[in-house]
Amino acid sequence: MNANFFIEKLRDRVRESPGSRLFLTLAEELKKRGEYEEAFMVLRDGIEKNPAFLSARLTLGRWYLKDNKLDDARNEFSAVVEVSPRDKFALRYLSEIETKLSLGKNDAKLRTIDRLNQFREAIHQRFDPNSLNNYSAGDR
């Protein structure tokens, strides 16, 4: 079957039946073809009309996670866990997000510590009595 024909048929069916869950298939097909913006739009609109469709929320969350939109991904996975507290996929992805966020914070902390250590070393060299020969006439 021609891909364009298939997508057009899906679009028609989603238009004819707005409450249908076919929007997820349409969004995935659009994404496969590289039509990312439309795929995201179709998926978000479909979830708005079908908020309890957890597979669609998981898919959107994964797409956000892949794009490093961690807050948006967390919102989708959290919505899944609200309805299905033991959903192993949503819980795993939430854990992955928290790990990424904590690593990001640790990276920033490590960079700050590194800068402080460099500053401390510069101060130590500047005022170390053993390194008085490091002063130039312009420093006084």
Q: What DSSP state is assigned to residue 6?
A: H
Closest CA to 76 of 43, 118, 36: 43
How far is 57 from 116, CA to CA, in rounded Å?
A: 43
pLDDT at 26 over 50: yes
Mean pLDDT of 80-104: 91
* Any domain includes 118: yes
CATH code of the domain covering residue 82? 1.25.40.10
Domain count, the chain: 1
* Any domain includes 72: yes
Neighbours of 69 (CB within 10 A): 14
pLDDT for position 86: 93
* Any domain includes 34: yes
Range of the domain at 84: 3-129
* Any domain includes 135: no
Triad 98, 103, 109: Cα angle to 5°: 130
* Any domain includes 20: yes
pLDDT for position 129: 60
* Any domain includes 29: yes
* Any domain includes 19: yes
Assign 62 a pLDDT band (cuts: 50, 70, 90). Answer: very high
Closest CA to 87 of 126, 64, 54: 54
* Any domain includes 55: yes
